[in-house]
């Protein structure tokens, strides 16, 4: 199954709720991923632009998008990004394809 790296930021209200009642959101996220036929591989909080990251498998891009939409519609997430990850093997295949690809860049 394809792998996806997700990153998210909570809303202010979600952070307030977590401060008042700390809960294991990794468990909730894992349940959400499993409900769409995927598998959670990890869930982390972080400093910086995003509050947390997750790594999951999903059957396809539309399933990964369904997870993002499901979580976003809850109102607890201010921002979410789901990034498809490309295996090393797929990367090598893509680089090989460039050997026969053609492109004419713009000229001035």
Q: 106 is written with which tokens?
A: 């713009």
**What is the rounded CA–CA span in Å between residue 30 and residue 11?**
20
| Among 4, 1, 12, CA closest to 81 | 4
| Among 66, 54, 62, CA closest to 30 | 54
> Looking at residue 71, what is its pLDDT?
92
The pTM assigned to this predicted structure is 0.86
3-97 CATH fold: Alpha-Beta Plaits (3.30.70)
Segment 38-76, tens digit of pLDDT: 999 999 999 999 999 999 999 999 999 999 999 999 999
Domain layout of the chain by residue ranges: 3-97
**Cα separation values, 64 from 18, 27, 58, 75, 105, Å:** 25, 18, 6, 18, 34
> Looking at residue 77, what is its pLDDT?
95
Q: Using 50, 70 and 90 to split pLDDT, how confident is the model at 12?
A: very high
Report whether pLDDT(108) > 90. Answer: no
Arithmetic mean of pLDDT, 4-23: 96
> Looking at residue 23, what is its pLDDT?
93
**What is the rounded CA–CA span in Å between residue 86 and residue 13?**
35
């Amino acid at each position: 199954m394809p792998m996806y790296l997700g990153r998210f930021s909570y809303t202010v209200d979600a952070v307030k709720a977590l401060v008042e009642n700390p809960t294991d959101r990794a468990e909730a996220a894992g349940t959400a991923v499993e409900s769409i036929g995927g598998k959670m591989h990890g869930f982390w909080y972080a400093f910086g632009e995003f509050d947390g990251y997750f790594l999951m498998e999903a059957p396809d891009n539309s399933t990964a998008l369904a997870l993002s939409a499901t979580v976003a519609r809850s109102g607890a997430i201010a921002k979410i990004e789901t990034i498809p990850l490309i295996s090393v093997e797929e990367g090598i295949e893509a680089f090989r394809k460039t050997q026969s690809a053609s492109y004419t860049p713009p000229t001035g």
